[in-house]
Each structure stands twice: as structure tokens, then as C-alpha cells.
A and B are shown apart, each in its own frame.
Chain A
């Protein structure tokens, strides 16, 4: 399968702790994106990191990309109960149509108050 693999599948932490989610993929990529999905809702684009970038920050989010290992991680610092959601990585798999994204299976994050 060309889908990304994310781990852990589920993560449960206390408010204030950091949450780290990992994504691995098998093809060359142009960029990797992270999305958030609240239960029963659509996905919201969080951050995009290009293949020539190694790290990117946006507020409490930090994304890293290691193209040699074909992996990325999303770190949420000082988590809040409102961060409870599913998080998905997405990328354009090599050889597929320009612009078409492939999504990972997602990590379910639960932040306890």
C-alpha cells in the first residue's frame, strides 16, 4: 500500500504534556502535510513541510522531516484538552498525479484535563 503509516495509533496524555506522532512513507515526496480532524468533522490543514526542509514550526506545533528515513514527526507542545482529535499525515506519493494526496491512517490523541 502507498498509504502512510502512523504511530502510535492512539495516544493518551495529560494536559501540559507534549504529544509526538510519527508518520512513515515508502515513496519519494514533494512535501508532507499534517491535518487534524475533530470527531465527526472534516479535516483541517495544520502545516506543510517541503522535502528540502528539515524542521518547521507553527505556534505549538513542530514538524520534522527526514527524507533519508522517509519519516516525519509532529510534536504538539504544552497540550490542551482542546487538542483532542485525530491527526493525519498526508503526502503526494511518487509517480502519482501532481497534487493528489495520500493520507496516513491517523493517530487518535486524547488530552485529559
Chain B
């Protein structure tokens, strides 16, 4: 079955640590996205990538970094510079274009301990 897989489902980070969230898709989608969701809130865009080896900052990129070395993979690193990283992180993919819906992963819940 085609889909998008995020791992781990739960992640705990100590203050000052960098952590990397995994996102893999086998849908042959060109575009991939990372969103952050806080309790009771909508989604805010962190980074997005239209094609391999290219990515753009979203609305809240500070304290985050990404790479897009393979079409299937778009990992997100939450760095120690992100002051309030506790949130639900969602990865999505789509065919690049204005008329396309997104396919989402099941999310990673990150907690700072």
C-alpha cells in the first residue's frame, strides 16, 4: 500500500538536544511538507520541498532544519535553538500543484523533558 510513514510516534527530548523526525513516502510525490500543530490549534508550516535537493522555509522555520536528498525522504531536525519544541509534528506529501490534496503521515509527538 502506498503511504507516508512518520517515526517515531513519540519522542522525548532533553533540553539542549537536537532530535530528528523521520518522514518517508512511497507515493512518488514530488512535494513534501512539515507542519507543527499545538494543542487546539491549526497547522503551521515549518518547511516544504518541491523537488529533491531543494527546500523552502515556511512560516515558523526558526530552530528547525531539513534535508531532501531522496525523493522518498524528508527528515526534520528540531535543534536546541527551538525554544518551545513540544508539539505534534505532521509530515505530508503531494503532487506539486495548486489543485492537489495532501496525504499526511500519522504524526510524531515531541515532548521536552
Contacts and interface: CB of A to CB of B under 8 A. Distances in A.
Contacts, number: 66
Interface residues of A, number: 27
Interface in B1-49: 6, 31, 33, 35, 41-43, 45, 48
Given A100-B48, A103-B43, A104-B42, A41 B96 contact: no
Given A40-B107, A42-B90, A42-B104, A30 B98 contact: yes
| Chain B residues touching A, majority SS | strand
Task: Name the interface size band of chain B.
Answer: 20 to 34
A3 B90 contact: no
Interface of B: 6, 31, 33, 35, 41-43, 45, 48, 50, 56, 58, 88, 90, 92, 94, 96-107, 109
